[in-house]
Structure 1
């Protein structure tokens, strides 16, 4: 069995029942998602892909804010996609795929996107650097990759950071402390990298312009 299928099966096991109350519980600690959506400059007709779209919560918010955008989502977990399909219905194209290796042309009939969103997914993807590379590979010229995820919590008490990370590990989540360094080292591959910490670096927002 491949690593992709192993991770997909793990995510299905994790979310088989959690997906039923995921949106209600996660709003208390997946902070900064709405701020990211509010800061996105999506123009009518532009394409937006969310990688690891989960229950479709962010795509629903994007659709409400940008009704003329073309929306797409992928997730490795078929269980999560069950909830996303029920929430979103028609108008948003969804597919099961691995964030580290996917063919958007085959999945969606479109090779590159004006905007790509990674919301609290890199902290759950074992080979998260490869997922960043794959997102950039599918970014249209001048397009933007938007990331929100756990930061290094540098501004918070040590006891809080230790407890948070121990609790997150129970759900196979690991904050990527080198995320901003990795983005800063993209060098000539992209036009611009911006990032900022929120809530004492509990959360990091990043925007990469291709």
Structure 2
């Protein structure tokens, strides 16, 4: 299913959105790696897997797998094909389930994609990262490859279902190695330091303005005002 999807939908997306990709050499040809990306649009999870030769697994919210009609079928089929794993984010243990899944994927020597901000940016800026990415890196020893989605938010702003036609730009940065912190899983100061290093690499790669606040908190305030 994965290769069929790349040959069909992938070819269509390449023709329509003409992705410009830099730094693919930073993604290892084999072995585990964490692809830590900024998050501007739903289609980030479409375009990144389709420009890679290796399969990357993401955690996706459960709603993507339960939609109805043609759109629901299409999204569900795509998510299953690229190896996305549904998680009920309303559950109290959703974060632990996500991390356990990521750890399993990485120990199997595969690629695991994660959005350290935890949700899409509400305004195009880069927000404070959650420490799950650090925990995975410290638990598995996998390198963290920062990934910049550079204009997907312009092509598909929040509320827009189908992205506008335009050229998608993706940039992969040099891997970050955190072996120097080996054995320090659970140390919240170390996990915060590792996460901040990842977010700093993303800030440099994307050129986004950085906000030292969780994006989810900003979204919550916006909803309360509406």
Larger RCO, structure (CA 8 Å, separation 6 or more):
2
Q: Which has the higher helix share?
A: 2
What TM-score range do you get, normalising by the shorter chain? 0.3 to 0.5
TM-score (norm 1): 0.40
Q: Which has the higher strand share?
A: 1
